[in-house]
Amino acid sequence: MINDLTHSKSTRSRAAMDLSFSLVPAVIIGVGLGVAYCTLLVAYRLLFHPLRQYPGPLIAKISGFYGAFYAFRTTLHLRTWQDHVRYGPIVRQGPNKLVFNSVQALHDIYQNDRITKSRAYLISQRAPGVYGLFNAVDRFLHQKKRRLVGKPLSDRSMRAFEPTMIGQIDIFLQQLVACCQRKDCDAIPVNMTQLSKHLTMDIMGYLAFGYPLDLQTEATNRAVLQSKASFLFNIGMQLPFLGALRVHMLGSLRSLIRGKRYLRTLERVIIERLAEGQHVKHDLLFMSDQPRVSENDQVWLEDVRSEAIWFLIAGSDTTSATLSALFFYLAKNPHCYKRLAREIRSTFHNDGEIHSGPKLATCAYLRACIDETLRMSPALPGTLWREKAAGAGDEPLVIDGCVIPEGTQLGVNTYALLHSEEYFPEPFSFKPERWLEGSGMSKTSRDAFAPFSLGARSCLGKSMAYLEVSLVMAKTLLCLDFSEAVGIPCGHDTSLTERELGKDTERVNEFQIYDAFAAVHCGPFLNFRPAQADAE
C-alpha cells in the first residue's frame, strides 16, 4: 500500500511537472504578445496618433497614468501650469487629451453647443441610466437637471434664505469673538480651514435639506466633512476608460469613494427629513432623478443621497477654500488688509446693516479682494474636461484655430490660465487693485477670469458664493482684527517637493491649495482681537 501511495504521488508530481513545462511556451507567447502590443501602442501614440504634433511630456503622450499620478499627489494643477510654461499654450496631457491656456480656447470650449462634458464624468454615476447634475453628459438632460437644481439657488430663493445664512455666519463670528476672550488666545490660533468648513457645510445643510447639521457647535455630524469622493473622482477622471467601463457597478469602489461614515451620516439626515412627510419630498425634488414624488422611501433615499454628495461638495468645499484663502491673503498683505477694513468700517456702523443690498454692493474693494483670491487660489483649480457631443455633426471642431480630431478630450486648466502672465502681470502677487475701475485691466484679461467656468455648465452657486464670502468678511472686519500666527505649520504634505509647495519660488506667498477636483487646503492659522482704531 505504501508503494502504491508513493507511486501515486510520483505520478502526480510528474503530471504537474509536465503541465508546468507545457504551460511555459504559452506564457512566453502571452508575454511576447503583450510586449508587442504595448510596443505597437506606444509607437502609434508617439508616431501616428492624430495628436502626435502637439507637445507634452513623453509619458503623458503614452498613458493617462501621467495625469492620474499627479492627481494622486494633488498637484496636477501645478504640473499643468509647469507644462504650459515649458511646452506652450497647448499641451498634450494624455494620449487623447489636449489642455489649452488661452482666452480664445476658454470660450471656444465652454461656450460651445457642440461640446459636452467628458464621458470620464460617468465614473461618478451610481447606476446605469441614472444621472445627476454633475454627471449628466447629455446636454438636454443636463438642462433639465439644471433647472431643477437652480430653483433653490435663484435670486428669489436666495433672498428668502439670506436670514438663515446670516444666522450661521453670526455663529461663526461668535466663535471668533470667544477666541478673543480666552487668556490663551495668542497661544492657540484659529485654523480658518476648520472653521470655514464647518460654517459652509452648516449653510449647505439648511439650503439642501432645511436641516441643522450644527457642525460649528457640535461634533455629531462632522463625518459629512470626511468624504473622499472628489479626491478619488479626480484620479479616475484622468483615466477616461474607467467611465466607459461603468466602474459604478463595483459596489466596493463606490463605498471607498464615498466613505461609509459619510454615507451613514448623510443617510440619517435624509431619513429624518423624509419622516416629516410628503411636503419635504416636494422640497427635495430638485435632488432626485425622478420626475415626480416617489412613494418608495428607499428610492428617494438613494436618489437624494447621490445628488446631495456633489451638491454639498460644490456648495461647501469651494466656498470654504475661498474664505480660507482670503483670510490668508489679507493677513499676508497689511496694506490690503487696512484698505479693506477702512472700507468696511466706513460703510457699516453696526452689524445689522450688513446684508445684501446697495451698501454691500458699494464695497468695491471687498469684491476686488474676493476676485483676486479666486484668481490666485481658485476653488476648482483643475481642468474641466470636455469632448465633442454625440450628434454634433461632421463639421470639424476648431478650438483656438486648431482642428481637433474626433475622440479628443479638451479643457482649459483654471489654475494655469489664472496664473498666465499674458493676462495677469505678476500673477503670483496679490493685487486686488487690478480689479478696480480705472486699473487699466484689458477686456481680454477680464475674459480670462472664469473661476466658476462659463456657459451652460457654469456654476449655479456663483451669486451665493459671492454673497456668503462678502457677508463673512464684512461682519468679521467690522468688529475684529486678525493677524497671522507665527511658526504654525499648515499641514502640508511633506512628501511633496519644495517646488510643489511653493517654497523658495514665486509661489511662496500664495495660499497653498491641493487639486482634489475641489481644492483641499489647510490654515491659515490666525490670532483674533477686538477691532482697533489703528487698523483703520
Q: CA triplet 10, 11, 13: central angle to 5 degrees?
A: 65
> Which pLDDT value is given to residue 220?
84
Name the amino acid, one letter, at 312: L
pLDDT digits (tens, 9 = 90+) for 155-200: 888 899 999 999 999 999 999 998 877 766 666 789 999 999 999 9
Q: Any alpha helices (H) in 382-454, and if so which ranges?
A: 414-418, 443-447
Quick one: how far is CA 210 from the chain centroid?
24
Distance, in Å, from the CA atom of 165 to the CA atom of 273, rounded to the nearest integer, reads 20
> Which pLDDT value is given to residue 120?
84
Beta strands (DSSP E) in 101-244 are 115-117, 190-191
- Give residues with Cβ within 8 angstroms of 487, minimum separation 6: none
The domains of the chain, with CATH numbers, are 58-535 (1.10.630.10)
Name the amino acid, one letter, at 520: V
Low-confidence ranges of the chain (pLDDT < 50): 2, 5-7, 9, 19, 247-258, 491-495, 498-499, 501, 504, 535-536
- Give residues with Cβ within 8 angstroms of 276, minimum separation 6: none
> CA separation (Å) from 451 to 117, 343, 377, 448?
17, 25, 9, 9
Report the 10 Å Cβ neighbour count for 271: 13
